[in-house]
Structure 1
Amino acid sequence: MWILPLVGYLGSVMGFAFMTLAIASGLYYLSELVEEHTVIAKRFLSKLIYSIMGLQLLLCVVDRFPFFLTVLGIFSHFIYLGNMRRFPFVKLTDPLFLASCALVLINHYVWFKHFSHHQERAYQNVSYYDTPDDIPTFTEIASYFGLCVWLVPFALFVSLSASDNVLPTIGSGSDFSSSSSATSNGSSKKRGQGMAKALVDSVLNTIADVGKMTGLKKPEDRL
């Protein structure tokens, strides 16, 4: 067969493109939603962080999850909570923000190693064709990673805005006066833009620039 494999490759590429577009559209919509309802989003994220910390503690007590990894997970969410003090704005050079980025990767690595080692040790005591009863299923592991490892960092990524877009405050001196005069002249205020929204916009602008370089133009540019 020659044609069918090519059809399979073409379908895979198109499916990946549509999935990427759907994820980008969802991120853009969620970022817009958070910008319009920042107070509700802050309350929701704070309660979500506390709920996941309680869930991790419950898993440690009831299901005998490793104590030190549980402490690491709870400590990580406590650091994530520190990013809420100036919600939705955050400085990209803030130590708490940088520590949060590092803890996301550390948590993913240590929990992946834990589940992998647990499965390897369980299969050593049974036959190759038998399935151990004391190991979590793929659905359970994926759900744990989705809820307890990635959910809060992903929600913060969608919700937080880069502080470079924050309006100048009273202590900014001349910047504040110029901003006030611009606003009094009828220009719109500049609000903080979500990091996810800014990422999607930058990707779209890059695609547009590449299209212009290759000779492609938008329909309105052809008029």
Structure 2
Amino acid sequence: MWFMYFLSWLGLILQICIISLSVAAGLYYLAELVEEYTVFTAKVIKYLIFIITGIHVCLALFEDLPIMMLICGFLGCLTHFFLLQSFPYFVLTSPTFMASVVLLCVNHYMAFSYFASVYYSFGEVLGYFTICLWLIPFAFFVSLSANEYVLPTVSESRPLNPRDMDKDMDVVSNYFQRRGKRYGLLSFFKYAQESILPQRIKKQF
């Protein structure tokens, strides 16, 4: 009896490890695709925003969801569309980015409050959260590594201090100085690969 209980926990741990490795491999592959096809990724995200906006319209017509939750969803899609204008660059202190984060948190709170008081099946709740709340932020999250390998432009270099004007006018030098600091998803996976996984050493004959 106790041995089967031990096997069940061992199997659960192995399943969690396999699922985690599969998710990590999938994210790594998606990050590399986004890095290579940045323009196509922007088009895909734009069409996703339009589709999810249409889904909110269908929810307003065919379901009895709270109007404030639907309005918050519409505003979230609008902020995502404005974020797409500077894709693949994201300024974390910009009003658009902060508004999208605030609307995402508010929409989660409204959705949790509504689905806790009104019964829906688990599949319906998970479908709403996955498509209406998580899909576009997940696409932006995977796209964070895309701006690390984009060629520099003048619009990237915006001096905050007038005394730094001459230094920041050299766009190429500024780009290569900042290029050493990478915080994207792909950089994280590459760092994990170099630090955790064993490195293959080529034999020299």
Q: What TM-score, normalized by structure 1, do the two folds share?
A: 0.72
Which residue of structure 2 lines up, in the alignment, with residue 214 of structure 1?
Answer: none
- CA-to-partner distance for each residue in 1:93-114, whole Å, 9 max, x for gaps? 3332233233323222210110
Cα drift, residue 169 of structure 1? 3.2
Cα drift, residue 41 of structure 1? 1.3
In structure 2, do the counterparts of structure 1 residues 163 and 154 end up closer, same or farther at CA, with 3 Å as the change threshold?
Answer: same
Which residue of structure 2 lines up, in the alignment, with residue 66 of structure 1?
Answer: 66
Q: How many matched pairs?
A: 190
Q: 5 Å matches for 1:66-215?
A: 66-119=66-119, 136-161=120-145, 167-170=151-154, 172-174=168-170, 176=172, 195-205=184-194, 207=196
Structure 1 residue 35 corresponds to structure 2 residue 35: yes
Which residue of structure 1 lines up, in the alignment, with residue 2 of structure 2?
Answer: 2
In structure 2, do the counterparts of structure 1 residues 61 and 48 end up closer, same or farther at CA, with 3 Å as the change threshold?
Answer: same
RMSD, aligned α-carbons: 3.1
Code of the aligned partner of 1:161: S
Contact 1:28–1:200 (8 Å) recurs in 2: yes
Cα drift, residue 12 of structure 1? 1.3
Of structures 1 and 2, the larger Rg is shown by: 1
Code of the aligned partner of 2:138: F
In structure 2, do the counterparts of structure 1 residues 149 and 54 end up closer, same or farther at CA, with 3 Å as the change threshold?
Answer: same
In structure 2, do the counterparts of structure 1 residues 49 and 7 end up closer, same or farther at CA, with 3 Å as the change threshold?
Answer: same
In structure 2, do the counterparts of structure 1 residues 164 and 32 end up closer, same or farther at CA, with 3 Å as the change threshold?
Answer: closer
Q: Which stretch of structure 1 is more off in the superposition, 11-20 or 166-175?
A: 166-175
In structure 2, do the counterparts of structure 1 residues 177 and 68 end up closer, same or farther at CA, with 3 Å as the change threshold?
Answer: closer
Structure 2: how far apart are the matches of 1:145 and 1:2? Answer: 39
Which residue of structure 2 lines up, in the alignment, with residue 220 of structure 1?
Answer: 201
Structure 2: how far apart are the matches of 1:98 and 1:158? Answer: 18
Cα drift, residue 33 of structure 1? 1.0
Structure 1: how far apart are the matches of 2:47 and 2:97? Answer: 19
Which residue of structure 1 lines up, in the alignment, with residue 165 of structure 2?
Answer: none
Cα drift, residue 62 of structure 1? 2.1
Structure 2: how far apart are the matches of 1:149 and 1:44? Answer: 17
Identity of aligned residues (%): 32
Cα drift, residue 84 of structure 1? 0.7
Contact 2:148–2:182 (8 Å) recurs in 1: no
Q: Which stretch of structure 1 is more off in the superposition, 103-112 or 138-147?
A: 103-112
- CA-to-partner distance for each residue in 1:79-104, whole Å, 9 max, x for gaps? 11121111112123333223323332
Q: Give unpaired runs (5+ residues) of structure 1.
A: 120-135, 181-189, 209-216
Cα drift, residue 50 of structure 1? 1.5
Contact 1:79–1:96 (8 Å) recurs in 2: yes
Q: What TM-score, normalized by structure 2, do the two folds share?
A: 0.77
Contact 1:88–1:160 (8 Å) recurs in 2: yes
Structure 2: how far apart are the matches of 1:178 and 1:41? Answer: 26
Q: Which stretch of structure 1 is more off in the superposition, 14-23 or 99-108?
A: 99-108
Structure 1: how far apart are the matches of 2:183 and 2:142? Answer: 7
In structure 2, do the counterparts of structure 1 residues 218 and 176 end up closer, same or farther at CA, with 3 Å as the change threshold?
Answer: closer
